[in-house]
Structure 1
Amino acid sequence: MIAVAVVDAETPGNVGTIARSMKNFGLSELLLVDPPELDPDGEAYGFAGQARDDILPEARTVPFEHIVENYHTVACTAVPNEDASSHVRYPAVTPRDLADSLADVEGDVCVVFGRERVGLHNDELARCDEICSIPASADYPVLNLGQAATIVCYELRDLTVERDQHPESLHTTAAAVAVEGLHDEFGTFLEAIGHAEEKRPKTRRMFRRVLGRARPTGREVRTMRGLFRRAREGIDRREE
């Protein structure tokens, strides 16, 4: 289980935004350390979307000690692009790599976000197990607390969202039989364009390697197969 903790948030709206991002990406346990007042008629609930029905009202207020004593903690720094001189904990993992680093952690995990302006204090960072920092443009690297939480929650989706909830066209690699059908169509296409017969095996192996690295979806395979077929049919008609 992965929880999210927000330490000493200044604005209720950011708490609501974080709760909404959690709902988007399959997280449900929200812990608050020294939170602002969360009025059911105020901006926290207004910003929370559907998370106002469960995540926000069920959020628990706890001391920071509770988090470090009961969870494997990942501290998310407020300012991206930090280096070894920036604080007491380095190196930092990026959000993209965070899911991989947590995949084998035993027990519950808590991703900890700090204050809007100064982030987590050095003594708080020192008590966490890992640090996560978001790469950003050097021209303006400071992210809003809600933005930072949304990025991190998104990158954790492989650990928190069931794979069968992802749209097939975006996330599911095509079935082997469909891929083999594309390879057959490509072979027929090579014949149609008059590709040298002695070069066809090597060309087909190259195409297989490229396709293997790409891991196309079912929709992509169907589209490419259709393109090769229409091109071949067009060549056949011109030759008639």
Structure 2
Amino acid sequence: MVAVAVVDATEPGNVGTIARSMKNFGLSDLLLVNPPELDPEGEAYGFAGQAREDVLPEARELTFDELVAEYHTVGTTAVTNEDATKHVRYPFQTPAELAEDLAGIEAETAVVFGRERVGLTNDELARMDQVCSIPASADYPVLNLGQAANIVCYELRDLTVEETQHPDERHERADQQAVEGLNEQFGEFLEDIGHPEEKRPKAKRLWRRFVGRAHPTGREARTLRGIFRRAGQRIERAENDDTE
């Protein structure tokens, strides 16, 4: 249900450390975007512990575009914004809050970690559905990649144990293709209503985060898309009437 994705890591040992953390806490699906070479005789496998037997060799390499298209994405960052006026890294959840939020959600989710030195860029975070940040001392809030992954994997451990909920209590989130379709429909709606072009990227980012936290069902996604589509058609008819 929950995968771990690492974007642009440069140190093989960090990839191995993350694989080991995943193995410790019951996670097995490792996704790698532009990874370093992972030599079976090198640091990655040396740091992976027992994860060298399954998690690391079975890791899947993919592009960033494929990652955001196929998964409900949660971007992790140490640097956050504390108010809604600067929204690329806001709102954010702690790892514990994230685990509670994802519990009971039927969705292919990827928790995404960035580069060792700079993490995920603003452009990459803007394409994430949710943001997660680890609360740390204001004097030195930056954790290294392995530390961050270890903390997040630990908090997500309850999602890897045997299900205890009754099936009727589960929230069946729309698949990622339907969610992306809803996001695209909202973008078209902004065009239809003449929302200022320079403000559209911000509006679409806010909408993505809103939908990311809401976890809409398939029916909810279809209903919202239908509303946006009908609104656009009505606007188009009204514009045509005005030109006649």
TM-score exceeds 0.5? yes
Residue 43 (structure 2) aligns with: 43
- Give 1:163 shift: 8.0
Residue 73 of structure 1 aligns to a residue whose secondary structure is strand
Could you report, residue by residue, the CA deviation over 1:81-129 in whole angstroms, capped at 9, with x for unpaired residues? 6534776131100011111111243321100000111111111111111
Q: Distance in 2 between matches of 1:131 and 1:153?
A: 15
Other structure's SS at 1:131 match: strand
| Structure 1, unaligned runs of 5 or more | 165-240
Task: Please tell me whether the aligned partners of residues 74 and 132 of structure 2 are also in contact (alpha carbons under 8 angstroms).
Answer: yes
The worse-fitting range, judged by mean Cα deviation, of 24-33 and 88-97 is 88-97
- The CA distance in 1 between the partners of 2:115 and 2:87, in whole Å, is 15
Q: What is the alpha-carbon distance in structure 1 between the residues aligned to residue 154 and residue 161 of structure 2?
A: 10
**Structure-1 residue corresponding to 2:155:** 155
SS of corresponding position for 2:96 = helix
1:162 Cα deviation after fit: 3.6
Structure 1 residue 80, shift from structure 2 partner: 4.9
Paired residues of 2:6 and 2:33 also in contact (CA < 8 A): yes
Amino acid across the alignment from 2:160: T
Tell me whether 1:132 sits opposite 2:132 in the alignment: yes
Contact 2:80 2:89 in 1 (8 A): no
- Would you say the 8 A contact 2:5–2:110 is kept in 1? yes
Question: In the aligned structure 1, how far is the partner of 2:154 from the partner of 2:27?
Answer: 10
| Structure 1 vs Structure 2 CA RMSD | 1.8
Taking every aligned residue pair, what percent have the same amino acid on both sides?
72
Q: Does 1:115 align with 2:92?
A: no
Task: Report the Cα distance in structure 1 between the residues aligned to 2:81 and 2:161, rounded to whole angstroms.
Answer: 30
Write the letter of the residue equivalent to 2:72: H
- CA-to-partner distance for each residue in 1:159-190, whole Å, 9 max, x for gaps? 113489xxxxxxxxxxxxxxxxxxxxxxxxxx
1:6-155 aligned within 5 A: 6-77=6-77, 79-80=78-79, 82-84=81-83, 88-155=88-155
- Partner of 1:32: helix, strand, or coil? strand
Q: 2:195 — aligned with what? A: none
Report the secondary structure of 2:45's partner residue. Answer: helix
Work out whether residues 80 and 136 of structure 1, in 8 Å CA contact, stay in contact via their aligned partners in 2: no
How far apart, CA to CA, are the structure 2 residues paired with 1:65 and 1:81? Answer: 23
Q: How does 1:166-181 map to 2 (within 5 A)?
A: none
Q: What is the alpha-carbon distance in structure 1 between the residues aligned to residue 106 and residue 124 of structure 2? A: 22
Q: Cα 1:86–1:6, aligned 2, differ >3 Å: closer, same or farther?
A: farther
Supply the AA of the counterpart residue of 1:83. E
Q: Distance in 2 between matches of 1:123 and 1:101?
A: 24
Report the more deviating stretch, 100-109 or 124-133: 100-109
- Say whether the 8 Å CA contact 2:2–2:111 is kept in structure 1: yes
TM superposition score normalised by structure 1: 0.64
Instruction: State the partner residue of 1:221.
Output: none
Conserved 8 A contact 1:81-1:141:
no
In our comparison, the structure showing a higher alpha carbon Rg is 1
Contact kept, 8 Å, 1:81 with 1:138, in 2: the verdict is no
Gaps of 5+ in 2: 165-244
Tell me which amino acid in the other structure corresponds to 1:101. D
Structure-1 residue corresponding to 2:172: none
What is the Cα deviation at residue 140 of structure 1? 1.2
TM-score when normalising by structure 2: 0.63
